[in-house]
């Protein structure tokens, strides 16, 4: 495989992964105030098969217990009157989103650099 193609494929796979991280983080932030919501986490599974393959991603729920609040009138209250809140930490999610955004930009820069090098090589070969 052409090394330029390989590096561009790696950058695209990285951008796709970071895009999914951003999507999961945005879902978590938007549901931070939803009682009973479980934070979603993106988990990578090792690649299978031979040749060029990239890790598969799947979403799992964080099983950490959310805080409880006494509110017997809430529809989701248990028999004792407590409501389990979301286990999403906005500080953690914002840090994860910032990291994913910066990683996406790094992969984009890598892709653009490989494309520039490939175009320069083609210009040299045309002469």
SS3 of residue 45 by DSSP: strand
pTM of the entire structure? 0.81
110 by Cβ neighbours in 10 Å (0-12 / 13-18 / 19+) ranks as: middle
Confidence of residue 95 (pLDDT cuts 50, 70, 90): very high
The residue range of the domain holding 58 is: 3-126
Domains identified in the chain, total number: 1
The phi-psi region of residue 49 (left if phi > 0; otherwise alpha if psi is between -120 and 50; otherwise beta) is left
Answer positive or negative: Cα dihedral of 86, 88, 91, 93. negative
Q: What is the pLDDT of residue 127?
A: 82
What is the average per-residue pLDDT within 19-32?
95
2 or 89, which is more confident: 89
Average pLDDT, the chain: 89
pLDDT digits (tens, 9 = 90+) for 49-69: 655 556 688 899 999 999 999
At 1 the pLDDT is 66
């Amino acid at each position: 495989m052409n090394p330029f193609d390989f590096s561009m494929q790696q950058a695209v796979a990285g951008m796709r992964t970071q895009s999914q991280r951003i999507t999961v983080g945005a879902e978590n932030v938007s549901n931070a105030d939803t009682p009973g919501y479980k934070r979603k986490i993106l988990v990578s599974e090792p690649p299978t098969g031979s040749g060029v393959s990239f890790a598969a991603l799947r979403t799992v729920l964080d099983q950490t217990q959310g805080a409880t609040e006494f509110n017997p009138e809430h529809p989701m209250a248990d028999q004792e009157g407590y409501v389990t809140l979301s286990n999403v930490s906005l500080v953690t999610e914002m840090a994860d989103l910032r990291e994913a955004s910066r990683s996406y930009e790094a992969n984009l820069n890598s892709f653009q650099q490989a494309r520039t090098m490939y175009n320069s090589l083609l210009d040299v070969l045309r002469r």
